[in-house]
Amino acid sequence: MEMNSIIDEIEKRKSALRVSELSEMLDISKRALYDMIKDGRLPALNICGSVRLDPKATAAWLRKRFTSNGCS
């Protein structure tokens, strides 16, 4: 699946993403995502000990990273 399609799919979600879901969508490890969240590079919510990702914020973050690296 093309990155723009993945970003569009994420942005259309009505519910928060789990790290495992984003990991699968992007084909990267959960550990890499948790490291980005811990470092503050990836915006996330901590809800009662569970990490969740806002779909709109995650899509915006991906678009910024995707276009700033010349990957569009």
Q: What is the model's pLDDT at position 65?
A: 87
Q: Which residue positions in the chain have pLDDT lower than 50?
A: none
What domains appear along the chain, each with residue ranges and CATH number? 3-62 (1.10.10)
d(CA 37, CA 31): 10
Q: How far apart are the first and last CA of the chain?
A: 14
Q: Are 9 and 22 a contacting pair, CB within 8 Å? A: no
Helix (H) / strand (E) element for 17: namely strand 17-18
Quote the pLDDT of residue 66.
82
Q: How far apart are CA 55 and CA 69, in angstroms?
A: 21
Give the separation between CA 67 and CA 53, rounded to whole angstroms.
20
pLDDT at 1: 62
How confident is the model at residue 67, as a pLDDT?
A: 76
Q: Over the stretch 31-41, which tens digit does the pLDDT of each residue have?
A: 999 999 999 99
pTM (2 decimals)?
0.85
